[in-house]
Structure 1
């Protein structure tokens, strides 16, 4: 056989958490796959992204054998705290969301765990494999064209799954998708600090000077965010200014330490419909992006591939395509629910540049409603911890 050509059942473009988990789920179901990742392993394992895992994400990682280190090092959180208008109100997740909770465990660590499993037990995982195009998606035998180890190669598949993000190749194969998007008039200045958190659970703070989020990576490392104008240069904020502003917005004297990393994260919502084109399927950021306020991005990608893995395994076992045929519609219902929740959290907690006092009072009224109504608090808790997947 020509070494530059190969065949598999499912070709997966992108070796982030979605692509790696999909490969793991398919392997356990007896479905062959190959993962093509354009970056090297070191880069993939260091990409900083989300760190809040929903209950369903935690459960599936345990199910596929990627839960041992997560359960040892991850931090289980049973609630969050809302701070606004001089008040603090805790949202009790288990009490309001049928016992569910979330876990703080960085995406970098999820990726490391899944890579180790894939290399030890799964199918091929090729790093530095640059995909140039996908052809034949209108047939039952699509082909991925890529370059690896200095050679142009092809991978013939029964199905291709694009887990390669917003700027990846897979999304651009679609012919005339419907695109829905919103760009928010503010960004997040995020820092990673060598300082133990000043709090046991995440704090979401609404203030007259903008939003702040107090989070953590480990018991000794804090992950903190400030709302800033779009286009902000992170170097324009000194360490002292950052700590002083966090103290004011969170209304807590923060534990201070060396700031190891500063970055600015733009805020946007994006959905591309449909999530399927013939034998090509999209998952994760290739199909949708949410602002980080609701902690949905990674979790939404995970639920995409859980649903898709079931459908692909079902087709191999039975020859039936009904689950694959409904993948896009089923996923988009869940995507739009997450988009709405993320929009709600973002618009309720942030201060727009041209915001009027009337709009601020509406925000405070909504936050007061959550603090005073178990029904409103339960709606937030259920969405934050993750709505259960349908069977």
Structure 2
């Protein structure tokens, strides 16, 4: 453990904290209070940013310990609202989102994403000396969007983050914590399309073949087959249990257990992004792989090389190092273009949707398999390849004339009932 740099005693609204820095990161130590509040990383590299986040932490711990009631609201005595700080507003909003799912609360992954947006927004506000939500209006919203763009965030990420900021402001207004005059009027256009690379069948076959040449490759191969033949997200695949697989009916159940009280108590309830369970037909290639896997006592299908629970980051790291990087010279791409070298684990989901379309699956079937209700999202995953377009174009006869160069073929005979109709 490294030594602490110089520390400061900070008396916040509810508790007293020792603020110190270890290396380049600031921490807050609340163990000196009557209630031991523990030690927390503020994930800040500047003292000003750390102090902002400390106010949020102080409020959070006060709610957690019962010093202030959960979901408490200040009494509203007039249209003039007491100023609410950026950190305090975020604390209240995130606590609201962290309510039970049956009450409309969001998933753990969504909450994690909200906290990441919060941290970036607080960083921006600290740089701009914006301390209260009443100071964050339309002009500041536009500046925040430009700030994200300068940091090279993707267009979709900027859209989602700014949409969340607008939602936070709306919620603060609805809760009577902010005057309605501070409502943000922003026109946001959701980006369409995707720049996620989609593997070709040739590339998929080569990757699975190459997996056989190394120990890490042989470990990851069943996972890649499962991703390519089921359309599961990596989180869904990691949580898959043997009881979810019905070999008799040849189907896989991808479970959403957010409302299972018994499993929630045990901390084992699984959730899906679509907030509902779904069933996927068991592809023969996947069935063959599953029969070869060793079954462990914990009931999960996939495990690490040494038998521990597999982690998404571990899968990605092994895939990039052992498979993608080793094969990228076999599938070169022009400078500046997106190609095989930019493929990710999520690319397997795009591959599944694209191949299912190419080989005759209906849109309705694919929506059920990948767990999307809208056709727009399915189209987001679908990639039409150049050879598909060529094949389709060659099969279309635009001019019903014997002089067409493709050959003199007679027009199909029209059924008599059609002629009479």
Short-chain TM bin: under 0.3
* Greater helix content: 2
Larger gyration radius, structure 1 or structure 2: 2
TM-score by length of 2: 0.23
* Greater strand content: 1
